[in-house]
Amino acid sequence: MTLTEEILRLKKEKNAVILAHNYQPEEIQRLADYTGDSLELAIRAKDAKEDIIVFCGVLFMAETAKILNPGKKVILPVKEAGCPLADYLTPEMVIDARKKYPGAQVVLYVNSSAESKAEADITCTSANAVSVVASLESDTILFGPDSNLASWVQEQIPDKKIIPLPKGGHCPVHQAFTEEMAEKFRGEGYMTVCHPECPKAVRDRCDLVASTGGMVKNAFKSDKWIVLTEKDMVYRLKTEFPLKEFKGFETAVCEDMKLITPKILKKALLDEKPEITLPEDIMKRAGKAIEKMIALSR
Ligand code: 13P
Ligand code: SF4
């Protein structure tokens, strides 16, 4: 049996579903039942009927899946797969900011720990950040941990005051994009899309700012794209639209997203671990914030 056949056999035998984020390596995307952005995968995890959810992504995504569907066994094949952006924020920082800005509502990007989410009013992803913030009553919003996404939301909703929490939180992969990269193929018939985690100067030079799921949904707008996000997004886009041209940047690598290999995935399925577990109280409080977001996004 080939490794792929073994994985498919184990998946069937154990009644498991494999979810993979758009940044996963090609060989993992090929093995997945569903590939998508953070919001699409969270919704698929919530609706999962299978006994086991194998989440090929990073810790905050697997935690979100567990919180949304606590009765299922959620496996993150490499437990060290984290997100440096999520690490910018602690629950204590949220608690302190609330004291400093009484009356402000707290919106946390899903790229944060479950413990931080437990202190939030609502979560968001890059796909729904604008509609989540717009839905809130308060005129002052504490938004973390991505300050670039916070500034992008501020541009879309000038009537509210958006305070980044903390100042300067960023994703190292998206922070590394430059204006020159956005301009590189200008005039050669390409449309340029970037993720809202990119700095403002980069966003301002792109034709479109979109979540990774938004990149798939908007691909019909051009036959030639420059894609400013993690490099394996290009594989996802090419799979969906084989007749279109997508140019990415090989230097844009999220190391945490590359830790899972087919061999590791097979072992995780076989052993049914590493399993995601969270304290009951955190599940409950973070769950409220995440469920509010899901209700707004269906
Ligand atoms: P998406 O929700 O757009 O897939 O983004 C997740 C992420 O981690 C971006 O760096
Ligand atoms: Fe986190 Fe950036 Fe990797 Fe996304 S690309 S998972 S924000 S480190």
Residue 262 identity (one-letter amino acid): P
Q: Are 161 and 139 in contact (CB under 8 A)?
A: yes
Tokens standing for residue 9: 């056999």
Topology given in CATH for the domain delimited by 172-254: Rossmann fold (3.40.50)
Domains 86-170+282-297 and 172-254 share a fold: yes
| 298 residues of the chain, pLDDT tens digit each | 999 999 999 999 999 999 999 999 999 999 999 999 999 999 999 999 999 999 999 999 999 999 999 999 999 999 999 999 999 999 999 999 999 999 999 999 999 999 999 999 999 999 999 999 999 999 999 999 999 999 999 999 999 999 999 999 999 999 999 999 999 988 899 999 999 999 999 999 999 999 999 999 999 999 999 999 999 999 999 999 999 999 999 999 999 999 999 999 999 999 999 999 999 999 999 999 999 999 999 8
Q: 86-170+282-297 sits in which CATH class?
A: alpha beta
Residue nearest to atom 7 of ligand 2 (CA): 171
- HSE-up of residue 280 (Cα within 13 Å, Cβ side): 0
Cα separation of 206 and 180, whole Å? 11
For residue 231, report the distance from its CA to the centre of ligand 2, in Å.
Answer: 12
Domain layout of the chain by residue ranges: 3-83+257-277, 86-170+282-297, 172-254
Write down the architecture of domain 3-83+257-277 according to CATH.
3-Layer(aba) Sandwich (3.40)
> Using CA atoms, how far apart are residues 210 and 22, in angstroms rounded to an integer?
13
12-33 core/surface letters (b: 16 or more CB in 10 A; e: else): eebebbbbbbbbbbeebbebbe
Ligand 2 atom 5: the closest Cα is on which residue? Answer: 254
> What is the ipTM score, two decimals?
0.99
- Whole-number Å distance, alpha carbon 67 to ligand 2 midpoint, is 20
